[in-house]
Amino acid sequence: SNAIRVPVPNGSLAILNLEIKAKTTVDEINALLKEASLQGDLVEQIKFSKDHELVSSDIIGSTATAIVDAPATIVSGDGRNVILYVWYDNEYGYSHQVMRLSRHITGVRRYTYY
């Protein structure tokens, strides 16, 4: 894996190289990550982007730990190696997740009314 600082003060791009046991496809990986971003325990951590023009300035202010860049997902010919491009705001996003984890550990629930 690798991380790249991009030309904005608080944005970064992580490049994840994953070796998996079962064969898979780009569509299967992206469907799994999209589903995780929409429902389940990771909704507050994962966002999913299908935008072919996602750039570093788009992620500034995101509260997510990771924004999956779906069009950049690569799966090797044998279906066992996956490369994911994952964006994150390394200041605001990090701070938001520290607070989320603190609330989870302490059991604090802040109710929001709209």
Give the domain extent around 66: 2-106
Q: Per-residue pLDDT tens for 17-69? A: 999 999 999 999 999 999 999 998 888 889 999 998 888 888 888 888 899 99
- Of the CA atoms within 13 Å of residue 80, those in its CB half-sphere come to 3
Query: Nearest to residue 12, comparing CAs of 48, 53, 52, 66?
Result: 66
pTM exceeding 0.85? no
Is there a domain that residue 48 lies in? Answer: yes
> Using one digit for the tens of pLDDT, what is the confidence trace for 58-109?
888 888 889 999 999 999 999 999 999 999 988 888 888 888 888 889 988 7
* Count of structural domains, the chain: 1
Nearest Cα residue to 101 out of 54, 47, 41: 41
In a domain, 111, yes or no: no
- How far, in Å, CA of 58 to CA of 89, rounded? 10
42 inside domain: yes
At 99, which CATH number?
A: 3.30.360.10
CA distances to 6, 65, 72, 100, 103 from 14, in Å = 10, 11, 12, 21, 26
